[in-house]
Amino acid sequence: MNNGKPVIEFDAVVIGAGQAGPTLAMTPAGRSEKVALIEGELVGGSCVNHGRAPTKTLRKSARVAHLARREGDFGIQAGKVEIDFAAAMGRMQQRVDESRAGLEASITGQEARSIGPAGRDSIAPRS
């Protein structure tokens, strides 16, 4: 016991649930080792939640708008092209949420202890 809390022992600890964290954690877990996956913010890390994924999604929307504005170069008459920034941001957030959910699903179904912000933890029992 440590300050009235039980001490939990692990065979491996993975710090960070970015793109590689869940895979790194599940490899020893697949060998029946007890693994802690520690994440201070959101599963997926900066790449999925703030970096590469959202940036590339918005870039794709801009690219499509650019091509649509060059319609005449391709023998197409489509009319005025307008960007709905709120819709583009909504599409970006949907992609981020789907990516994060996919990573979270890779953890679910494993016997895992996920330790998040401020030491809060949750247990996902093996199904």
Using one digit for the tens of pLDDT, what is the confidence trace for 39-80? 888 888 888 999 999 999 999 999 999 999 999 999 999 889
Q: What is the pLDDT of residue 38?
A: 85
Q: Decide the pairing of beta strands 121-124 and 112-115.
A: antiparallel
| Average pLDDT of the residues of the chain | 82
Residue 121's closest CA among 3, 11, 17?
A: 17
pTM score: 0.70
Q: What mean pLDDT comes out for the span 74-95? A: 94
Task: Sketch out the chain's domains with CATH numbers.
Answer: 12-124 (3.50.50.60)
In the numeric block, the tokens 């996920």 are attached to 114
- State both tokens at 93: 């957030």
Provide the 10 A C-beta neighbour count for residue 68: 16
